[in-house]
Structure 1
Amino acid sequence: MNWLFLFAFLGILGALAGAGYFMLRRGGQRRDAMARALAVRVGLSVTLFLIILLAWSMGWIEPRGVPIQR
C-alpha cells in the first residue's frame, strides 16, 4: 500500500513539473498542454484521496495521530 501512495505522489509531482515546463516553453500549443498536465494532476490527487478513504474504511490503514510532547 505504501508503494501505491509513493507512486501516486510521484505522479502528482511529475504532472506539476510538466505543467511548469509547458508554462515556460515557447510555442502555440503550450496552453493546451499545460491545462492537460494540470488536469492530470487534479485527477491523480482526487484518485489518491479516494484510495486513501477506501483503504481507511476497509481497515487497511489506520490513523496514528500526532504524539503529544510534554
Structure 2
Amino acid sequence: MLVNLLIVVFLLAILGSLFAGGYFVVRDPSSKRRAFWALSWRVGLQLALLLFLILAFTMGWIKPHALGG
C-alpha cells in the first residue's frame, strides 16, 4: 500500500512539474530560466520513479499481472 502511494505521489509531482514548466514557457517573460529548471525537475523525478519501480520489482514489493486474465 505504501509503495502504491509513493508511486502516485511521484506521478503527481511529475505532472505538477510538467505544468509548471509549460506555464513558465508560455507566460514567463523573464530570463530566469525557470522553465528549464522546472522541466529538469520533471526529468529527474521521472528517472527517480523508474529507479524506484526497478527496485520495487526486484525486492518483490510490486508484482506484474496479466491484463484481462
TM-score w.r.t. length of structure 2: 0.89
Uncovered stretches (5+) of structure 2, i.e. residues with no partner: none
Q: 2:15 matched to which residue of 1?
A: 13
- Runs ≥4 residues deviating over 3 A: none
Aligned-pair identity (%): 39
Map residues 49-64 of structure 1 onto 2, 5 A cutoff: 49-64=50-65
CA offset digits 1:27-67 (Å, max 9, x no partner): 2225x111101100000001001000000000111000222
CA RMSD of aligned residues (A): 1.2
Counterpart in 1 of 2:39? Answer: 38
Task: Say which one has the larger Rg.
Answer: 1
- Number of residue pairs the alignment of both structures matches: 67
